[in-house]
Structures are given as C-alpha cells and as structure tokens.
C-alpha cells in the first residue's frame, strides 16, 4: 500500500455492550491503521475493560456507513478475538485480500465496529494433538487457539472448502493451515479429535447409490444404525514414509525413490508382519493363540500389538495407545456429518468414468498425473486434495487404509463375533453399539478390512461406504495406514 495509500488512521469510539451478556465488558476505544508501510494488512487495536469472564470480540467492517461483505471476513482475521479473559489492549489483524478480494478495499473511509459477547464454554477443548515423533512430546491445540489464528488458517464454513460442499455438522473447525508445514508430514504426527460419542448415524450405502454394487445397500454395504460410545483422535493425514521410518523399515518396491517420497503415504506395509505382529498375538495371560484371542474392543488400544512392530514401537515412543481404526470409526470419521456417496456432501455422477466430484477430494486411477514422474498413476504427497468437514485429508483416495476388523463380504457375519448368521437381530438392532466386526478369525481367508479408494482404483471406490478386504500379509503399493488414539484420560 506504500505509494498507493488508501488507508488512513481511523479512531472509532465504541461503547458496545454485549447483549444478554453477564459481563460488564466494554470496548472503550478502537484504532484502525495500516499494519506496516510495506504491508496491506489492517491492524485493529481495541481497549477492553470490565471483563469478569471470557468474552469474544465480533467485527463488522464498513466503507463509510456501508457495511462491507462479511462472508469472508472471519477467515481473514487473526488475533485477540475469542476467549479474552482480562482487561487490556487487544490486537486483530485483517488481511483485506482474503476479506474483500483487494488490497485497496476503498479504505478512505474504512471503519470497524466491534462488539462483545460471552465466550462459548468449550473454547479450551483440545481439538488437535501434535506429536513430535523424534522426542515423543505432545502439543495440545485448543479451539480458542485455532480461532485466534495462532496456528495459521482455519475454516469454519465447510461450503468454503469447495463449491457445493455441505455437511450436517453444526460445529466445523478445519485447520487448513496444517498443510503448509512440512514437519506435519515428516517429523510430527497431527491428530484431530473426532466427536463420535453417543451419536446415532447410518453406516453403509443408500439404495440407488451410484457406484455401489447392484445400486447400493447390498450385503457388504447394507445400511444400519450405529452408535459409537467414545470420541477418538484420528491422524489428519495418512501416515507418510518419513513418519513410518522413524519406527520401522520401509519395504522395497512401491514409491520410495521419488523426490517427494518422504511426504507420500507409506504403502506395501503388511498388517501382520509390519504393523501389529498378528501371527504372534496372545491372550493377555499368554494362554491362547490369536485365533482364539478376543482382546478388543473392550480393551482396545492396549493389547494385540507386539512391541517390536511399527505400531508397538510408536506406542512406546509416544506413550499413547495409537492403533488402526475399526471400520465403523473409519466411516464415521470419513463421512463427517454426510450421508452422501462422497464426504464432500456430493454424489458420484459416473460409476465407471471420471467424476469431477471425486477429483476434488481423491487421487484415483482416473486422476491427472501429468505432473507426476513418468506421468503415471501413483501415490502423491498427502494433503493436496480437499479435506472433509473434520479436516481429514485423503480419506477417499491416495492409498487405501487398513482397519482392525476381519473382513467378510456379508455384514451379517461381519458383525457377529460368534459366527452366527442372526440376520434379523444384527440388521435390526437399533442401534449397533461400537461394532467391530469379528475379532476372531473363523476361516482361512485371513482378510482384514481396508477402507477408502486410492491411486490404483476406479473412482467408485472413493465412496464413503466402500469397504474391501485383503489378506493380512498383503504387500500392496496402494495400501497404507491412518492411525487413531483414544480420548479417555487413561490413554497412556
């Protein structure tokens, strides 16, 4: 703005008292100025007094007496806006390019109006955990820190993530800035809290869903009501090669020799030999082999993982019972408040060809790989596509992801630990609580569930309801992992 000075210092006296507020908090003075002579940012300083409990500061912007479009204003601001606990001077920075699409903003008469309201009770809720994979330390990131812009950009409106994106969630906070830090894809593991406890939702594909076998609601994707009893954390990205090798060696093959391999998802990892040590499972007292060991979900995150396998080593380093998700956990997290074919709130439009709705969210066999080595289909750096409403990336593509459950194509047996085909009881339970599939292997197929599509698969496999299976010793360059961790106080 230097040399084209459209900003002038503006002082706005403000005596706005929060409506229906229990606080006596008052904004006494507001000063608006250009942040720096060489910067387009707008700096808003305010003086707050009378704070008796946490308050939020709301902002409206005006050109003279004409209010400017506020649809993008919230996402353009950082600073002291939420959870203010004491009197004093606060600062808010507005990026006019993000807010109004221009650095000029016709600011000859630019003004702001601030108002006060009581803060929400959950502002100190931990929404993200960032684990340092080298030291084992964990940093908690709270709702208020995200909303105040401490960790970069966030989005609270899912429709702003992509045209037509929609969700039934009424509490959306997507940390979009997480994709800008290379460390979060290499030396650190970022996990997002998934608020699942007590929510009843529908798992499976709808009748007539495009891309589903026989038009949806078939044996392996039959719809039924589910309720999970606990929240959990899930990794924002698929586990990358750089993260994986801190605990376990990569297998040869796959995509390990590309320039950006470190930030691509790990693949060719075997569920049994590499991740869990399945062939060595024992009951807690050491008396039974894995065929008879029913050790989860009642004590999930605690057993059935050998300490010298990748997940066991990560547990030891972090002091946290990380694990693979159950299939139900995975689908709840993927859907993020949607019941449509895709997690964007949109539908697959073409079962066998290229669908632009899938291209927004997933790397599949139909994606454009013209800028990839050799121009061929392959894994890509995590976090390049658009996230879901929980802020999880690549749930629909890049690589398919291992889950804990044994796989059966008919969900009647898929949800019956004892192997009994009690169709009426299983499918008409209202709801199924914490379904986990069989925790016991009952035949010789040795198939574990995998969820999500991937670079190798057609776009119809990017649907949220899709589930497939692979032998637990499968070594595939399209099969990787995403981790979960419990929220409970005894998670360590």
> Are 184 and 51 contained in the same domain?
no
Question: Is position 347 within any domain?
Answer: yes
Instruction: Kindly report, residue by residue over 208-234, the tens digit of the pLDDT.
Output: 899 887 655 566 788 888 999 999 999
The answer to whether residues 75 and 171 belong to one domain is no
Q: What is the pLDDT of residue 97?
A: 83
Q: Identify the band that residue 375 occupies on the pLDDT scale cut at 50, 70 and 90.
A: very high
Least confident range from 120-134, 211-225, 254-268, 335-349: namely 211-225
* Mean pLDDT along residues 372-398: 97
Token match 């990839």: residue?
372
Same domain? For 326 and 469 the reply is yes
Residue 63 has pLDDT above 70, yes or no: yes
pLDDT at residue 426, rounded to an integer: 45
Per-residue pLDDT at 478 exceeds 80: yes
Per-residue tokens: 470: 């692979």
Of 122, 115, 118, the closest CA to residue 21 belongs to 118
pTM across the whole model: 0.88
Residue at 445 is within a domain:
yes
| Same structural domain, 410 and 359 | yes
- Beta-ladder partners of 117: 56
Adjacency order of strands within the sheet including 26-34: 10-12, 26-34, 42-49, 88-94, 77-79
- If you average pLDDT over every residue of the chain, what do you get? 84
- Beta carbons of 345 and 361 less than 8 angstroms apart: no
Residue 4 covered by a domain: no
Alpha-carbon torsion, ordered 272, 275, 276, 278, to 10 deg: 0
Q: Do 416 and 336 belong together in one domain? A: yes
Around 489, how many Cα atoms within 13 Å sit in the side-chain half-sphere?
A: 0
Q: What angle do CA 158, 163, 166 make, to 5 degrees?
A: 40
Whether 3 is in a domain gets the answer no
Q: Tell me whether residue 417 is in a domain.
A: yes
Same domain (yes/no): 137, 104: no
Q: Is residue 2 part of a domain?
A: no
Query: Both 364 and 473 in a single domain?
Result: yes
Query: Are both 339 and 302 inside the same structural domain?
Result: yes
In the listed set 99, 118, 137, which residue is the last one of a domain according to the structure?
A: 118
Q: What is the DSSP string of 153-184?
A: --BS-GGGTSTT---S-S---B-GGGGG-GGG
**How high is the pLDDT of residue 437?**
65
What is the tally of structural domains in the chain?
Answer: 2
DSSP code of residue 317? H
**Spatial distance between the Cα atoms of 98 and 147, rounded to a whole number of angstroms:** 16
Between CA 480 and CA 484, with CA 481 as vertex, the angle to 5 degrees is 175
Single out the residue in 89, 118, 147 at which a domain terminates. 118
Residue where a domain terminates, one of 118, 139, 162:
118
Q: Would the pLDDT of 336 be above 80?
A: yes
CA end-to-end span of the chain: 52
Percent of the residues in the chain that have a pLDDT greater than 70, as a whole number: 80
How far is the C-alpha of 329 from the C-alpha of 203, rounded, in Å? 10
Question: In terms of domains, do 25 and 156 share one?
Answer: no
Q: Classify residue 491: in a domain, yes or no.
A: no
The reply to whether 352 and 449 lie within a common domain is: yes
Residues 38 and 161 in one domain: no
* Average pLDDT of span 302-326: 87
CATH code for the domain in which residue 248 is found: 3.90.1580.10
Evaluate whether residue 492 is within a structural domain: no
Structural domain for 14, as ranges: 10-118
Bridge partners of 128, per DSSP, are 141, 192
Report pLDDT digits (tens) over 387-416: 999 999 999 999 999 998 888 776 554 444
* Cα angle 447, 300, 205; round to 5: 50
pLDDT at position 284, please? Answer: 43
The separation between CA 468 and the C-alpha centre of its own chain, rounded to angstroms, equals 22
Same domain, 102 and 142: no
pLDDT for res 296:
40
């Amino acid at each position: 703005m230097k040399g084209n000075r459209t900003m002038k210092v503006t002082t706005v006296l403000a005596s706005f008292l929060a409506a229906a507020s229990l606080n006596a908090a008052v904004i006494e003075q507001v000063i608006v100025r250009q942040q720096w002579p060489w910067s387009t940012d707008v700096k808003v300083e305010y003086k707050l007094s009378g704070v008796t409990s946490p308050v939020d500061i709301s902002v409206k912007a005006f050109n003279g007496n004409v209010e400017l479009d506020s649809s993008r204003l919230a996402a353009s601001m950082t600073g002291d806006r939420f959870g203010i606990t004491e009197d004093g001077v606060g600062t808010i920075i507005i990026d006019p390019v993000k807010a109004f699409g221009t650095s000029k903003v016709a600011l000859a008469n630019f003004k702001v109006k601030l108002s006060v309201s009581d803060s929400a009770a959950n502002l100190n809720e931990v929404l993200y955990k960032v684990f340092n994979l080298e030291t084992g330390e964990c940093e908690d990131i709270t709702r208020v820190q995200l909303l105040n812009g401490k960790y970069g950009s966030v989005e609270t409106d899912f429709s702003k993530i992509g045209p037509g994106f929609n969700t039934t969630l009424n509490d959306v906070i997507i940390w979009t800035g997480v994709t800008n830090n290379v460390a979060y894809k290499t030396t650190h593991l970022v996990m997002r809290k998934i608020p699942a406890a007590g929510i009843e939702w529908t798992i499976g594909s709808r009748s007539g869903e495009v891309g589903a076998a026989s038009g949806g609601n078939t044996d392996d994707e039959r719809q039924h009501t589910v309720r999970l009893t606990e929240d959990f954390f899930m990794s924002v990205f698929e586990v990358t090669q750089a993260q994986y090798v801190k605990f376990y060696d990569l297998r040869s093959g796959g995509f390990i020799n590309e320039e950006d391999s470190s930030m691509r998802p790990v693949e060719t990892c075997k569920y049994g030999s590499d991740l869990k040590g399945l062939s060595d499972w024992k009951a807690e007292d050491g008396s039974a082999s894995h065929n008879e060991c029913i050790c989860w979900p009642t004590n999930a995150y605690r057993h059935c993982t050998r300490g010298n396998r990748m997940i066991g080593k990560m547990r030891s380093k972090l002091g946290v019972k990380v694990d693979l998700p159950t299939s139900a956990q995975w689908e709840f997290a993927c859907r993020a408040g949607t019941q449509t074919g895709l997690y964007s709130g949109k539908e697959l439009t073409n079962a066998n060809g290229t669908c632009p709705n899938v291209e927004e969210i997933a790397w599949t066999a139909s994606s454009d790989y013209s800028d990839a080595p050799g121009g061929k289909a392959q894994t890509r750096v995590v976090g390049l596509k658009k996230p879901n409403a929980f802020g999880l990336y690549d749930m629909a593509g890049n690589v398919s992801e291992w889950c804990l459950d044994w796989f059966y194509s008919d969900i009647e047996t898929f949800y019956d630990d004892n192997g009994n085909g009690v169709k009426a009881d299983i499918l008409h339970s209202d709801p199924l609580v914490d379904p986990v599939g069989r925790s016991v292997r009952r035949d010789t197929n040795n198939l574990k569930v995998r969820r999500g599509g991937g670079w190798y698969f057609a776009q119809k496999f990017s649907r949220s309801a899709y589930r497939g299976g692979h032998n637990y010793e499968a070594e595939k360059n399209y099969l990787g992992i995403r981790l979960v961790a419990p929220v409970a106080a005894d998670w360590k």
